[in-house]
Amino acid sequence: MKQYGTVSISANIVVGDDILWSQGFGVKNLSDPQSGPPNGSTVYRIGSITKVFTTFQLLQLRDQGLVNLDDPVTKFIPQFSMRNPYPSNRDITLRQLSGHEGGLPRSSPCDETIPEDCSEANILSRLTNQLLIAPIGTRASYSNLGFTLLGRALEAVTPSSTWENSLIQKILNPLKMFNTYPTYSPAMLNMAVGYSPAPTPAPLVDLEWQAPAGEMYSSGDDLAKLLSFIFKYDNYSSPSSILDPETLREWFEVTMWNTDIGISHPWETYPLGNYTLYTKSGSIYGYQALNAFIPELKVGFNILQSDETNAIGDLIAILADFLLNVLEPQIWSLQTPPPLPGDINQFTGNYIGEIYGVQYRFVVALQPFGTLRYPTVLLEGYPGVPLIRLDWLNQGDTFMMSFREIIFPCSQLYYGPLQVVYFHRNSSGTIVSFEVPGTQYGMVFYKQF
């Protein structure tokens, strides 16, 4: 921080439902030496992380049957139109807005430091004379304008409530994110002052109609709650009423690529070792923020910074390296263990079967993960093939493959991790074989006694 002259940073690491580490650096207010360092509840502007919540609203309304992701934006904002230099009868859809695929320019045609200039009427009127910058649905082009239109289109779905009020009532309050605000609020007593650059305080510019693209305020503790909720994508036994687990999985789908950067809704994804790091960053008038996570490990981190120096870039590299090289080897034991059937030993043993005429031996053994021991499958004689943990599905003798590590990314796609292993019993109730029909239908591996 001293290297960059950074004023303050609040950061944390999240594992499942828990904050593993949280730390504040610097001071919240240069003008008040007694303000002290930030903590987990200190509020910062989060800029474009706002787009995560606007997409959250979209998915929530879709799950409620109130919108279709492929509804055209003109269904909700009929005044919207732009000149399209690419011959097409396509309409820009809500899905394309949330994935930056609408061919829209980056910004709205107004001066956001002058609130009256950024009215809905002014923006929509000026857009009629502007050109799309890319054919609709063919490439990702980052657009604050697109998320402005998306958020305001969703208001038309629930005309009795604004984007801001819906966010509070349907998402923030249910997630107990009480230190997160759609717009500035006097209730934010524990707030870090932003600087642009230090020691000049940044103006708290209100984005007004453009708020769904980047207006929000939040704290590290609250963003940790968001990650913990996202990590419940496989909680089918007690699914949340806020968003369906299948919708959470859908949220991770990469729909467009710009070189090695994958664009989701609205995550930007990057390769990190054998995993994919999902991120959303934000930068606005003296503040920077980052929300990042690895879904299959259920681990992530948040960084909030109250100036525009590059300290956040260095901290991102440090925390990403920590996740991959320090935390990842321990992560399975830190997660909430899945349930186990009564007599787990009955599934262990050597299983032999043929795949395309070649005989293979699979060893099912118990391995420690945290304080419990789980059945694992190892392909004997192939040291490069990763160890696979079997997580019981609470349905008879069925288990889900769960990779400890991915040596070859294609093996994860081909063999799992979302593949079900079915064990079979003989007439006396003894486990005698297993199969994985989702990958090799009809191939049965028989237990050796």
Distance CA 299, CA 332 (A): 10
Nearest-10 Cα torsion for 172, 174, 178, 184? 20
The ranges assigned to domains in the chain are: 8-333, 344-447
Q: Let me know if 178 is exposed, middle or buried by CB neighbors in 10 A (0-12, 13-18, 19+).
A: middle
Distance CA 278, CA 269 (A): 5
What pLDDT is recorded for position 271?
85
295 — phi, psi (to 5°)? -55, -50
The helix-helix angle for 144-157 and 50-63 (nearest 10°) equals 40
H or E segment and range at residue 41: none
Largest CA distance in the chain: 80
Contact call for residues 364 and 349 (beta carbons, < 8 A): yes
Task: Quote the tokens at residue 346.
Answer: 């009955």
Supply the DSSP string of 163-230, one letter for each residue: HHHHHIIIIITTTT-TT-BSS--TT--SBPPPBSSTTSBPP----GGGGGGT--EEEHHHHHHHHHHH
Q: How many helices (H) and strands (E) does the chain have?
A: 10, 18
At residue 311, the 3 state secondary structure works out as: helix
8-333, CATH topology level: Beta-lactamase (3.40.710)
Give pLDDT tens digits for 364-383. 988 776 556 777 777 776 65
Residue in 309, 290, 275, 291 with CA at minimum distance from that of residue 403: 275
Only one residue has tokens 């304080």, namely 371
Q: Let me know if 9 is exposed, middle or buried by CB neighbors in 10 A (0-12, 13-18, 19+).
A: buried
* Cβ neighbours around 249 below 10 Å, total: 13
Distance CA 220, CA 156 (A): 31
* pLDDT tens over the chain, length 449 residues: 667 789 999 999 999 999 999 999 999 999 998 999 999 999 999 999 999 999 999 999 999 999 999 999 999 999 999 999 998 888 999 999 999 999 999 999 998 888 788 899 999 999 999 999 999 998 888 999 999 999 999 999 988 889 999 999 999 999 999 999 999 999 999 999 999 988 999 999 999 999 999 999 999 999 999 999 999 988 877 778 899 988 998 998 888 877 678 888 999 998 888 788 999 999 999 999 999 999 888 999 999 999 999 888 889 999 998 888 888 777 755 556 667 788 889 999 999 988 777 888 888 988 776 556 777 777 776 655 666 778 888 888 998 877 554 444 444 444 445 678 899 999 999 999 999 887 666 778 999 99
What pLDDT is recorded for position 383?
57
pTM: 0.80
* Cβ neighbours around 273 below 10 Å, total: 15
What pLDDT is recorded for position 408?
40
Supply the DSSP string of 314-350, one letter for each residue: HHHHHHHHHIIIIIGGGHHHHSPPPP--S-GGGG-EE
Contact call for residues 402 and 417 (beta carbons, < 8 A): yes
Cis upstream peptide for 437 (omega within 30°): no
